[in-house]
Amino acid sequence: RAPLRAELARHFAAVLADAGRLAQWRDAYLHRRRDWLEGTLARAARLQPRFQAVFESMGLPRVLSYLPMVESGFRPHATSIMAAGGYWQFIPSTARHFGLTLDRWVDERRDPEASTRAAGRYLKRLHRTFGDWPLALMAYNSGEGRVLGILRRLGTRDYREVVRSVRTPAETAGYVAGFVAAVQIALDPEQYGVTPPPLPPPEPPVAVVPVRGSIDLTFVARATGVSLSELRRLNPALLMGCTPPREEPYPLRVPATAAAGLRARLASQPQTLYTRWTTHRIRRGEALRSIARRYGIPMEAIARFNRLKDPRLIRAGAELVIPIPEGRHLPRRLRRRRHRPPAQRDIQRLTYTVRTGDSLWSIARRYGTTAERLRRWNSLLRREPIHPGERLTLYVAKGTRPKARRHRHRRRWRPGEPLPPDYRVVAGDSLWSIARRYGLAVEELARWNGLSTRATLHPGQVLRLKQRPFILHRVRRGESLWQIARRYKTSVQAIRRHNRLGPKATIHPGDRLKIPASSPG
């Protein structure tokens, strides 16, 4: 543990200097979140050696391998309301950008080794951008654009100044201190009155068996004598309890002692290989038996792929996955209903690299398709953003030439120049791209214009690029004027004056108050 303590002291000295903030976090972990802490430390004991080995091979500080403590509690199935998932809490677009597979069958955010390598690549990029591990972790939590905007407005890269600034959201300001406090407890649990978790038994050797097509884990369990729960633990990225129905083999992890038996069983008793799939939307009056007869697929296979406990209980409007055996084609009348465009002679698959200013709408317009199809082809959520450098798959008619990008004939704003008072939105713009262009934070740009950070912009819309002479604050339950004034470093009298409140006026949850923006801090 001594090398890890040395890394913590070397890379996070500015955070360790704020002893009061660290003490508050340790108190929260040791008292209010004690059960969470003990469970997290127990899971970390089993996973830490693997995570540290990956980071050491990538030339990263091994102490960063404790970041999943504050991200997911070392739980592979942890999911946030923003669709972030896995040990390292990647949102889908970031996970794909750093090489992880996310689709109906596989979510590599849950794979300990693959997700840790992706996290290492992301952390390396953040460190190259900010040159400082505390700032890099703030960006990991809050986003590069937001932290870059804060640094530009403050004119400093001093971590202590950034944390103390009222421009920094409270969650972002406390994130790195929460991480460092958690690492301190993990490295010296006895010092803080925590019983260290028992050392986990040594992991048995694991072998990888390439499996082509879809094989159910229950079949693997019967063939090898390994419990189903153990197979799921070794393969947490499998979402449907089976390997994905693809032509390329999937690397299935099994205990080394069972690998030879599984290979022999697959060779001697080959299963029906499902290497492709389509979807079917259930119509009113349809039964699973009739759907199976229509596609020529056993009803049991459809029930297994959709995890149907009772095949009789299907609901009109729901979508079913229809597996397609190797060498079999859909009936001609059903081919047009496939999930993805068929590989016909007049269809070609293209890969498009997202550029600054692109949106799904603008890309779809250039290639003569729709944004909804782009989402479906790339397994994107409805409100999931895209980022420059991300690769998207398109299916278009052969010979399709994309329309030329519209060049914006406007003088480019340069850092150091005064900001224009407003900006007129053009096709392809988003709050993120406009904020980055002018060195602003997305949250502030949205707040100045009364928008959500996920709002959709429309060409011709005018946005304010400068702060109003006041900040709008929505009163929360339990807040008083004195607390609000203290938060914004102003006075109760100034708030009353800006809102024309008398000395006996009261405020209520949901009220909007104007806070003087010229307040110090």
Cα–chain center distance at 236 = 17
**pLDDT band at residue 340 using 50, 70 and 90 as cut-offs:** very low
Among the candidates 337, 355, 375, a domain finishes at: 337
**pLDDT band at residue 244 using 50, 70 and 90 as cut-offs:** confident
180-184, 307-311, 322-326 — most confident range: 180-184
Question: Which of the two residues, 439 and 480, has the higher pLDDT score?
Answer: 480
Q: Give pLDDT, residue 252.
A: 92
Give Cβ neighbours of residue 289 (< 8 Å, ≥ 6 apart): 299, 311
Q: What is the pLDDT of residues 5-43, one digit of tens each?
A: 999 999 999 999 989 999 999 999 999 889 999 999 999
Flag whether pLDDT at 110 surpasses 50. Answer: yes
- Residue 15 placed within a domain: yes
Residues 249, 330 within the same domain:
no
Name the average pLDDT for the chain.
82
Residues 279, 263 within the same domain:
no
Residues 81, 160 within the same domain:
yes
Q: Which long-range contacts (CB under 8 A, 24 or more apart) does 504-508 make?
A: 507/475, 507/479, 507/480, 507/481, 508/475
Domain that includes residue 256, residue range: 206-268
Please give the model's pTM, rounded to 2 decimal places: 0.62
Judging by DSSP bridges, how do beta strands 250-255 and 274-281 pair with one another? unpaired
**pLDDT band at residue 520 using 50, 70 and 90 as cut-offs:** very low
**pLDDT band at residue 341 using 50, 70 and 90 as cut-offs:** very low
Q: What is the pLDDT of residues 461-481, one digit of tens each?
A: 888 887 666 777 888 888 888
Residues 251, 380 within the same domain:
no
- Residue 327 placed within a domain: yes
Q: Give pLDDT, residue 339.
A: 43
pLDDT > 90: what percent of the chain? 26
Flag whether pLDDT at 229 surpasses 70. Answer: yes
- Residue 44 placed within a domain: yes
Among the candidates 247, 268, 289, a domain finishes at: 268
Render the burial of 141-160: b for 16+ CB within 10 Å, e for the rest. bbbbbbbbbbbeeeeeeebe
Residues 214, 162 within the same domain:
no
Q: What is the pLDDT of residues 65-76, one digit of tens each?
A: 999 999 999 999
Give Cβ neighbours of residue 92 (< 8 Å, ≥ 6 apart): 83, 102, 379, 380, 381, 384
- Residue 17 placed within a domain: yes
Residues 249, 319 within the same domain:
no
Residues 123, 84 within the same domain:
yes
**pLDDT band at residue 338 using 50, 70 and 90 as cut-offs:** very low
- Residue 94's CATH number: 1.10.530.10
Total number of domains in the chain? 5
- Residue 509's CATH number: 3.10.350.10
Local structure of 250: helix, strand or coil: strand
Length of the chain: 521
Residues 243, 354 within the same domain:
no
Point out the least confidently predicted range of 230-234, 251-255, 336-340, 513-517.
336-340
Residues 100, 181 within the same domain:
yes
Q: Give pLDDT, residue 426.
A: 81
How many alpha carbons fall within 13 Å on the CB side of residue 266?
A: 20
- Residue 503 placed within a domain: yes
Q: Give pLDDT, residue 271.
A: 59
Point out the least confidently predicted range of 198-202, 294-298, 407-411.
407-411
Flag whether pLDDT at 403 surpasses 60. Answer: yes
Residues 146, 63 within the same domain:
yes
Q: Give pLDDT, residue 154.
A: 83
Flag whether pLDDT at 436 surpasses 50. Answer: yes
Asked whether the beta carbons of 154 and 162 are under 8 A apart, the reply is yes
Residues 315, 356 within the same domain:
no
- Residue 456 placed within a domain: no
Among the candidates 318, 337, 356, a domain finishes at: 337
Q: Give pLDDT, residue 88.
A: 94
- Residue 363 placed within a domain: yes
- Residue 85 placed within a domain: yes
In Å, how far are 133, 162, 411, 453 from 152, measured between CA atoms? 18, 11, 21, 20
Give the whole-angstrom CA distance, residue 292 versus residue 164. 63
Residues 229, 298 within the same domain:
no
Give the whole-angstrom CA distance, residue 371 versus residue 353. 16
Give the type of residue at 417.
E
Flag whether pLDDT at 196 surpasses 90. Answer: no
